[in-house]
């Protein structure tokens, strides 16, 4: 059996300043779209994702890969994200 490491072990957050992080966050305008509920969202404790690419945050649709939810306190694999209000 292979031990799959959580996403947090691969994030390079300490290399990004706050300004850069802000450019990567999805805006409230995007999150308010009806189709935003179909986006793949993962937290740093999750073990599986769709790919992250150099286009992260530039092209946004349901096939654009996973988006990181910064404040996740649990893995969404264990407790589903409440998508009733994406803002």
Instruction: Give the tens place of pLDDT for each residue, 10-51.
Output: 988 888 899 988 888 888 998 888 888 888 889 999 998 887
Whether 80 has a pLDDT exceeding 90, the answer reads no
Whether 75 has a pLDDT exceeding 80, the answer reads yes
- Alpha-carbon separation of residue 64 from 17, 51, 55, 59 (angstroms): 24, 8, 8, 7
Question: Which pair of structure tokens corresponds to residue 79?
Answer: 């407790």
The model carries a pTM of 0.76
Yes or no: say if 14 and 44 are a contact pair by the CB < 8 Å rule. no
Question: What is the Cα–Cα distance from 64 to 4, expressed in whole angstroms?
Answer: 23
Whole-number pLDDT of residue 62: 67
The values of phi and psi at residue 23, to 5°, are -70, -20
């Amino acid at each position: 059996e292979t031990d799959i490491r959580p996403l947090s072990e691969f994030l390079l957050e300490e290399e990004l300043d706050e300004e850069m992080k802000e450019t990567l966050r999805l805006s409230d305008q995007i999150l308010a779209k009806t189709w935003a509920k179909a986006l793949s969202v993962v937290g740093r404790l999750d073990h599986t994702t769709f790919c992250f690419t150099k286009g992260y945050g530039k092209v946004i649709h349901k096939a654009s890969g996973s988006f990181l939810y910064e404040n996740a306190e649990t893995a969404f694999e264990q407790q589903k994200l409440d998508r009733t209000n994406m803002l």
